[in-house]
A and B are shown apart, each in its own frame.
Chain A
Amino acid sequence: GDSVTQMEGPVTLSEEAFLTINCTYTATGYPSLFWYVQYPGEGLQLLLKATKADDKGSNKGFEATYRKETTSFHLEKGSVQVSDSAVYFCALKYGSQGNLIFGKGTKLSVKP
């Protein structure tokens, strides 16, 4: 079945470091891909998305490119801040269907 695999955390970085969180997927069709973020004590929030191959989603300095050839959707940010400390979830969904398929989440801690 369809699935999402994320790199294991936790990831600890110093402020202004470069961030990559790897995400790969297995899918029978052509899903949309998402990154959600969960800050402490809050719900999952949509960070960015891409709906077709080669699309790049971006938001708040984060980027991810939908790579069909490598079935990947890696999250990157050039310079992380302490406020980026959170859990990041990669997910996929088909078209008008309701349910999201998530990875395990990767906890990011950014130290000053």
Chain B
Amino acid sequence: EPEVTQTPSHQVTQMGQEVILRCVPISNHLYFYWYRQILGQKVEFLVSFYNNEISEKSEIFDDQFSVERPDGSNFTLKIRSTKLEDSAMYFCASSWESGSEQYFGPGTRLTVT
């Protein structure tokens, strides 16, 4: 069964460094998402992406964040200058249509020290 994959599973970085989290969505899906969950808190929507542009974003998704689909398979989340409060589990998801079921990856745990 097709699945969403994410790499790495765990990333440790120093404050101020740039990180790129990678996701490979399901191949025929057209909509892509990033969510995050800070430890002990809710899973929060960050951004959705369709047709090579952002379709929705939350207040969390400020200028420090960017997303890209650099080729036909990868979908990346970049954090330009990480802060301690960016430490969280980041989930990627994809769906065929905007309103259809979203399929999630296993997550990348980002630890900023």
Q: Which residues of A contact B (CB under 8 A)?
A: 4, 36, 38, 41-46, 89, 91, 93, 95-105
Contacts and interface: CB of A to CB of B under 8 A. Distances in A.
Q: How extensive is the interface on chain B, given as a class? A: 20 to 34
A93 B31 CA distance: 15
Contact of A44 (B44, B56, B91): B91
Contact of B45 (A41, A95, A100): A100
Interface of B: 3-4, 31, 33, 35, 37, 40-45, 48, 55-56, 58, 91, 93, 95, 97-99, 101-107
B99 A97 contact: yes
Contact of A99 (B33, B103, B105): B33
A98 B44 CA distance: 13
Contacts of A36: 104
Contacts of A95: 99
Given A41-B106, A100-B45, A102-B35, 15 more contacts: A43-B91, A44-B43, A44-B91, A44-B93, A46-B101, A89-B43, A95-B99, A96-B99, A97-B56, A98-B95, A98-B98, A100-B35, A102-B42, A103-B43, A105-B43
Contacts of A41: 106
13 contacts: A36-B104, A89-B43, A95-B99, A96-B98, A97-B98, A98-B33, A98-B48, A99-B48, A99-B58, A101-B45, A102-B35, A102-B43, A103-B43
B42 A103 contact: yes
Given A43-B91, A98-B48, A104 B103 contact: no
Nearest to A105: B43
Nearest to B43: A102
**Can you list the 8 inter-chain pairs with the closest CB atoms, starting with the nearest?**
A102-B43, A43-B104, A99-B45, A44-B104, A98-B48, A96-B99, A43-B105, A43-B106
Contacts of B55: 98
A4, A38, A99, A102 interface centre (most CB from chain B within 10 Å): A99
Contacts of A102: 35, 37, 42-44
A98 B42 contact: no
A104 B40 contact: yes
